[in-house]
């Protein structure tokens, strides 16, 4: 239903993807993900593309990796939500989705709990060209996919999953688009993980570091290098491009 991609954290392999460009300290874009304008009643959103039908491999998958607090357990997660807008294709094939990477203490391996975006139970038929909010995908009666874990199932209620896996350590959270089906292009904004909302708005020169300057593909970018990006924010947005 979805593609499995590899991300290594320490000595453990996670079914995700390698991060290539950081923005600030809260999240990282990978694959074909880019910052675009406008967002949902805001300046910025993230565009995720999944298209295996063309010759390029750069847009086969894309996503956003979010920082997680050390010691976070699955039971500590009470809210996952986001705003989405399909500008091409629709939700299908388990994409897009949240991936919650948990450390299975029985095998000391990292597995995924998948939290799908779109109308349950098929997770297809997302409306095109309109901003839609998922609501809290971790509401107690909602269905999530715990099939990678022992005793898990494709349709597990959040309550049942917390009973079985609540003590499992969360080592990563991503929003991913990677369908093998028809091409998808979806805008993502206002991602809520517990009490933290990520709006993707540029805040300071720190957003330029670790390759983050490359993601400003539209206003206030594009920038030629990190120094130019830092200069822009250091001059209160009046720096020269």
- In this structure, the answer to whether residues 19 and 88 fall within a common structural domain is yes
Q: Contact at 8 Å (CB) between 137 and 96?
A: no
Q: What is the pLDDT of residues 97-141, one digit of tens each?
A: 999 999 999 999 999 999 999 999 999 999 999 999 999 999 999
Q: Phi then psi for 232, rounded to 5 degrees? A: -60, -50
pTM above 0.85, yes or no: no
Q: Assess if residue 1 is contained within a domain.
A: no
- The pLDDT tens digits for 26-71 are 899 999 999 998 899 888 999 999 988 887 888 889 999 999 988 9
Count how many residues are written for the chain: 241
Look up residue 214 and give its two tokens: 């490359």
- Residue 49 falls within a domain, yes or no? yes
Q: What is the pLDDT of residue 53?
A: 81
Q: Are both 219 and 133 inside the same structural domain? A: no
- Domain count along the chain: 2
What residues make up the domain containing 222?
A: 202-233
Tokens of 87: 């500008």
The CATH number that applies at residue 133 is 2.60.120.260
Which residue shows structure tokens 């009470």? 78
Element (H, E) at 159: helix 158-165
What is the distance in angstroms between the CA of the first residue and the CA of the last residue of the chain?
Answer: 43
Same domain, 171 and 218: no
């Amino acid at each position: 239903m979805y593609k499995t991609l590899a991300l290594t954290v320490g000595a453990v392999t996670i079914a995700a993807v390698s991060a290539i460009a950081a923005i600030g300290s809260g999240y990282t874009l990978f694959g074909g993900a880019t910052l675009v304008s406008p967002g949902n009643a805001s300046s910025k959103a993230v565009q995720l593309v999944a298209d295996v039908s063309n010759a390029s491999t750069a847009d086969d998958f894309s996503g956003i990796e979010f920082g997680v607090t050390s010691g976070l357990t699955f039971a500590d997660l009470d809210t996952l939500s986001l705003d989405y807008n399909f500008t091409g294709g629709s939700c299908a094939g388990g994409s897009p989705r949240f991936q919650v990477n948990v450390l299975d203490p029985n095998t000391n391996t990292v597995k995924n709990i998948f939290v799908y975006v779109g109308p349950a139970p098929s997770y297809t038929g997302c409306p095109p060209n309109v901003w839609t909010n998922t609501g809290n995908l971790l509401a107690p009666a909602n269905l999530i996919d715990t099939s990678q874990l022992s005793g898990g199932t494709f349709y597990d209620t959040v309550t049942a999953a917390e009973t079985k896996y609540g003590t499992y350590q969360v080592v990563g959270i991503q929003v991913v688009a990677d369908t093998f089906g028809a091409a998808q292009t979806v805008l993502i904004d206002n991602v809520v993980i517990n009490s933290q909302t990520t709006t993707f708005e540029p805040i300071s020169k720190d957003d330029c570091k670790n390759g983050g300057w490359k993601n400003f593909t539209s206003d206030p970018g594009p920038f030629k290098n990190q120094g130019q990006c830092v200069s822009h924010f250091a001059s209160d947005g009046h720096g020269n491009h």
